[in-house]
């Protein structure tokens, strides 16, 4: 690749990653909206969590609808548009969702708010399905994960500062607000309306930026399309079964006997646990069945005939699930006596550092995209994580939090830096190493208490940081004309964020919150397995060396 082409691709990449910031910024606002809506509408915890169900469910539904429509039209709709137009259309859908949110908060209707949030995230689904392979295509295959790390780092920056900005927009101040009291004010929803006027404007501005940008190519790949009718039927079947199971789970909350026995009397809900486990098995068994069948007869299976993709779908499902479940359950864990009975505002620095850890790792993982010399790269791999660490501390300090308990976390970052050196900039090797490190950290957290265990669980963010881009780039490697189809399948797997956290939550009700953290142990173990297995698969296809170290080595 010549120098001019590299400069052009870099300019295109810098324009592209602006949407990654939006995903992090808006996604992080859920942490503010959930307690606000819970107080405003008098919801229980389960009902308030429907905000996350709506958000993550939209990614899955959006991706599967795109695939179904492409199959019915017998052409790759996204590829026909081009990745650039896909992002623009996604931003416009999110703009429409923001407009609906303005109407929803004006009406003061919680179900309407959920629907509007679903539309916003539906636009994000189209943006992600377009942007991920677009970023991966802007350079050589072996540096794809570095480009996605750079984009992920910008996403994490949005996640880090999003809650602060959203808190200011909602409450007028950063900290010290009693959400319950504020939510009961008659005009409290006015803040949300103003916020989404601003958000909708940003979506439109971003769409205009992409539309008028001459730096971004159309982003089309091989236009040949092969219908995947069997894959479509399998995914529809999985979706229908999941909807039926979730509908039954939700309906139990309308049963007075259930409310009395399990919610008021705190009886152990083994049936609920079994139903939640079944949702996980539906996805896992369904996908493994699809790939096993495709190996015997590939006709009609499309991208699902590639084992690196199907296992990558399960790995991404697991990754999103474990990322969300560690964070979602951390607050409940820290409230226990073994973890210092940390509650209220004192929780904020720990929660922030967990999510900030993702940014720390992604900034370090993005270094390769700038092509530094070997010596400079080694220096940056040490320096950049601590710069990112400083940004997280500063964000917390600005929000009025006491960051003193986080200083010692600097020692934990050393292990992540060591992981980068051991990974040697090879995506599958790095994925396996970080998976093993994450599994070890979770085990340390399981068998200890206090500060050591807290830091061990928070460090899950450090080891998760590079997993999305690594899994994504490895899963779509060698797919050729099926790249955008495979990308849609992968984006569907964000559904893991709506299945694995409830599973750990149900388990926590039975065995305790601390013991329930063996779920993240299993998740990290599977991701490490994928890192080990996928390179074998790619080598058999003759592209393992190119993906791992690049054709020039």
The model's pLDDT over 3-30, given as tens digits with 9 standing for 90+, comes to 555 555 566 677 777 777 777 776 656 6
Neighbours of 302 (CB within 10 A): 27
Q: What is the pLDDT of residues 304-330, one digit of tens each?
A: 889 999 999 999 999 999 988 888 778
**Residue owning tokens 């909350």:** 253
Q: For 119, what's the count of Cα atoms within 13 Å in the CB-facing half-sphere? A: 18
Average model confidence (pLDDT) for the chain?
A: 80
CATH of 10-549, one of 1.10.3720.10, 1.10.260.40, 1.20.1250.20, 3.30.1600.10: 1.20.1250.20
Is the C-alpha dihedral spanning 130, 133, 134, 135 positive or negative?
positive
Task: Please tell me the predicted confidence (pLDDT) of residue 145.
Answer: 59
Task: Please tell me the predicted confidence (pLDDT) of residue 143.
Answer: 63
At 229, is the secondary structure helix, strand, or coil? helix
Segment 390-417 shows an average pLDDT of 87
Task: Please tell me the predicted confidence (pLDDT) of residue 174.
Answer: 47
Task: Please tell me the predicted confidence (pLDDT) of residue 331.
Answer: 76
Query: What residue segments make up the domains of the chain, in order of their start?
Result: 10-549
pLDDT range class, residue 241, cuts 50, 70, 90 = very high
Check pLDDT > 80 for residue 94. yes
pLDDT range class, residue 126, cuts 50, 70, 90 = confident
Segment 401-414 shows an average pLDDT of 89
Residues in the chain: 553
Task: Please tell me the predicted confidence (pLDDT) of residue 190.
Answer: 73
Instruction: Supply the DSSP symbol for 183.
Output: H
Task: Please tell me the predicted confidence (pLDDT) of residue 226.
Answer: 63
d(CA 74, CA 224): 10
Q: Select the more confidently predicted residue: 377 or 281.
A: 281
Task: Please tell me the predicted confidence (pLDDT) of residue 414.
Answer: 94
Check pLDDT > 70 for residue 35. no
Of 13-27, 369-383, 468-482, least confident by mean pLDDT is 13-27
Segment 357-361 shows an average pLDDT of 87
Percent helix, percent strand, percent coil in the chain, to nearest 5: 85, 0, 15
Q: What is the pLDDT of residues 440-464, one digit of tens each?
A: 999 999 999 989 999 999 999 999 9
User: What percent of the chain is modeled with pLDDT above 90?
Assistant: 23
């Amino acid at each position: 690749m010549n120098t001019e082409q590299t400069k052009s691709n870099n300019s295109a990449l810098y324009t592209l990653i602006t949407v990654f910031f939006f995903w992090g910024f808006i996604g992080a606002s859920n942490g503010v909206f959930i307690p606000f809506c819970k107080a405003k509408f008098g919801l229980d915890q389960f009902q308030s969590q429907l905000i996350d169900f709506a958000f993550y469910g939209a990614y899955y539904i959006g991706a599967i609808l795109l695939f179904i429509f492409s199959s019915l039209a017998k052409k790759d709709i996204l590829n026909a548009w081009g990745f650039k137009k896909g992002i623009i259309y996604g931003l416009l859908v999110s703009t429409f969702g923001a407009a609906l949110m303005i109407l929803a908060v004006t009406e003061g209707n919680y179900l309407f708010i959920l629907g509007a949030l679903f539309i916003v995230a539906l636009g994000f689904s189209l943006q992600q399905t377009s942007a991920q392979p677009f970023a991966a295509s802007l350079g050589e295959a072996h540096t794809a994960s570095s480009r996605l790390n750079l984009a992920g780092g910008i996403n994490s920056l949005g996640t880090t500062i999003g809650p602060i900005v959203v808190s200011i927009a909602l409450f007028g101040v950063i900290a010290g607000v009693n959400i319950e009291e504020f939510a009961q004010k008659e005009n409290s929803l006015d803040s949300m309306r103003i916020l989404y006027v601003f958000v909708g404007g940003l979506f439109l501005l971003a769409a205009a930026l992409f539309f008028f940008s001459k730096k971004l190519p159309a982003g089309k790949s091989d236009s040949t399309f092969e219908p995947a009718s069997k894959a479509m039927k399998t995914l529809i079947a999985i979706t229908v079964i999941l909807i039926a199971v979730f509908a039954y789970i939700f309906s139990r909350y309308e049963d007075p006997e259930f409310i009395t026995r399990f919610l008021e009397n705190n009886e152990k809900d083994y049936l609920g646990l079994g139903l939640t486990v079944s949702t996980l098995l539906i996805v896992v068994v369904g996908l493994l069945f699809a790939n096993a069948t495709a190996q015997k007869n590939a006709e009609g299976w499309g991208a699902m005939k590639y084992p690196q993709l199907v296992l990558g779908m399960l790995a991404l499902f697991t990754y999103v699930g474990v990322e969300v479940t560690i964070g979602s359950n951390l607050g409940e864990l820290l409230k226990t006596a073994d973890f210092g009975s940390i509650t209220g505002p004192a929780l904020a620095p720990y929660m922030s550092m967990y999510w900030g850890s993702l940014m720390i790792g992604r900034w370090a993982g993005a270094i390769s995209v700038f092509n530094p010399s070997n010596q400079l790269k080694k220096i940056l791999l040490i320096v950049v994580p601590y710069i990112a660490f400083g940004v997280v501390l500063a964000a917390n300090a600005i929000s009025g939090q006491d960051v003193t308990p986080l200083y010692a976390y600097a020692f934990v970052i050393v292990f992540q830096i060591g992981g980068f050196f051991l990974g040697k900039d090879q995506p599958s090797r790095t994925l396996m190493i970080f998976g093993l490190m994450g599994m070890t950290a979770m085990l340390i957290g399981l068998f200890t208490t206090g500060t050591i265990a807290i830091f061990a669980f928070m460090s899950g963010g450090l080891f998760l940081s590079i997993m999305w881009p690594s899994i994504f780039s490895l899963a779509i490697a060698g797919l050729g004309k099926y790249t955008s189809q495979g990308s849609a399948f992968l984006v569907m797997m964000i559904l893991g964020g709506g299945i694995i956290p409830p599973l750990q939550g149900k388990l926590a009700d039975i065995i305790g919150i601390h013991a329930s953290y063996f779920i993240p142990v299993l998740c990290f173990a599977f991701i490490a397995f994928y890192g080990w297995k996928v390179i074998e698969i790619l080598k058999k296809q003759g592209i393992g060396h190119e993906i791992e170290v690049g054709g020039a080595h």
